[in-house]
Amino acid sequence: MDAQAVAFAIVAVVALVSGVGVVTTRNVAHAALFLLVSLASVAGVFILLVAEFLALVQVLIYGGAVTIVLLFALMLTRAEEFSNVRSNPQWAVAAVAALGVFGAMGAVILNDRLDTQELRGPSLQELGGELFTNWVVPFEIASLVLLMALIGAIILARASDSDEPGSGG
């Protein structure tokens, strides 16, 4: 087993264990922290797959932005109940279904092995060049997506409960 494999094993285990934490802990804040750990280990996987830039993006955006947004929201709502959220009544069925999903995919993955080539990643320059030439249309769409999220968040979250006329529907 080479060093790369050992490293992968470690980050994979961390990612999975923290992932289990995300979906099983009863405390929302803990779940957010588990998610942060899991995301960080995914960044580790990216590094092992020669995608350093993506690893950086992963840490900055997910670790930085997403988790912070989640925690902010938790603080805004100040819900005492958030420290003890039970799973819903169908969790056992959910577990079976999720196992089914994993089983289906695992079977496929192990059954049809793909012929791989040498592990290699593009340079940052290549990625940037590609993004702004061939993928410029999706890039623009993505910027619109962000804008919509921004505007939507402002409309929906900012309005306070008293300054509006009667309800609609």
Partner 1 sequence: MTPDVRFELLWPEFLVAGLAFLVFTLDFFVRPARKEVLAWVSAAGLAVIIAFTVPFLLNEHDSLFDGLYRVDSYALFFKVLSMGIGIAVILGSLHFVDRRLTHPGEYYAIIIVSVLAMMMMAASGELLTAYLSLELLSFCLYILSGFALQDRRSNEASVKYVLLGAFSSGLLLYGIVLLYGALGTTHFAGMAAALEGTGGVDGRLLVGLALVVAGLGFKLAAVPFHMWAPDVYQGAPMPITAYIAVGSKAAAFALALRLFYEALAPAYDEWQLLIAGMAALTMIFGNVVAIVQTNVKRMLAYSSVGQVGFLLMGIAALSPLASNALMVHLVGYSVTNFAVFFAITAFYNATGKDDIPDFAGLAGRAPFLAAAITVGLFSLAGLPFLAGFVTKFYLFSAAAAEGLLWLAGVAMVASLISLYYYLQLIRQMYIERAPEDEGGSVTVATPGVLAAVIGAMALGTVLLGVYPEPVLATIREATAALLDTGSAWPTLGSAGQ
Partner 2 sequence: MMELAWLIPSLPAIAFAFMVTLGKRLPNWSAIAATGSIAVSFALFFFVFADWLGAKSFPHPENYTFVYSIDWLRAGDAILTWGMWIDPISLTMLGLVTAAALGIQVYSWSYMAHEPRFTWFFAVHSLFAASMLALVMADNLLLLYIAWELVGICSYLLIGFFYDRRSAAEAAKKAFITTRVGDVGLLIGILLLFVETGTFELSTIFAALAAGDLSEGIVTGAAVLMLLGAIGKSAQFPFHVWLPDAMEGPTPVSALVHSATMVVAGVYLVARIFPFFEASDTASLVLLSLGAVTAMGAAAMALVMTDIKRVLAYSTLTDLAFMMLALGAGSVTAGMFHLLLHGFAKATLFLGAGSVSHGSDKTDIRDMGGLRRVMPWTALAFGIGALSLGGLPPFGGFFSKDEVTLAVFLIEEPYRWIFLTVALTVGFMKALYMGRLFFSVFLGRLKPENEHAHEAGPAMLAPMLVFTTLGAVGGLLAFNWTDGYQGFGYFVFAGDHQEAFHPNWWIAAASAALAVAGFGITWLAYVTGSLRTDSIIAKVRPVHTLVANKFYVDEVYQWGIDQVMLRAGNAVAWVDRAFVNDIGVNGPGIVTEKSGTKLRLLQSGKIYNYALGMVLGFLAVAVAWWWAL
Partner 3 sequence: MELYHVELLSAALFALGVYGVLARRNAIMILMAVELMLNAVTINAVAYAAFLDPGRLVGQVITVFVITVAAAEVGLAMAIILRLYRVRATANVDEADTMRG
**Which residues between 21 and 40 bind partner 3 (CB under 8 A)?**
22-23, 28, 31-32, 35, 38-39
Residue 76 as a binder of partner 1 (CB under 8 A): the answer is no
Residue 60 as a binder of partner 2 (CB under 8 A): the answer is no
Answer for which of 111, 117, 119, 125 binds partner 1 (CB under 8 A) is: 111
Answer for which of 5, 6, 79, 104 binds partner 2 (CB under 8 A) is: 104
Q: Per residue, what are the HEC states of the chain?
A: CCHHHHHHHHHHHHHHHHHHHHHHCCCHHHHHHHHHHHHHHHHHHHHHCCCHHHHHHHHHHHHHHHHHHHHHHHHHHCCHHHHCCCCCCCHHHHHHHHHHHHHHHHHHHHHCCCCCCCCCCCCHHHHHHHHHCCCHHHHHHHHHHHHHHHHHHHHHHHCCCCCCCCCCC
Residue 51 as a binder of partner 3 (CB under 8 A): the answer is yes
Residue 58 as a binder of partner 3 (CB under 8 A): the answer is yes
Which chain residues interact with partner 1 by CB under 8 A? 104-105, 107-109, 111-112, 114, 133-138, 141-142, 144-145, 148-149, 151-152, 155-156, 159, 161, 164-169
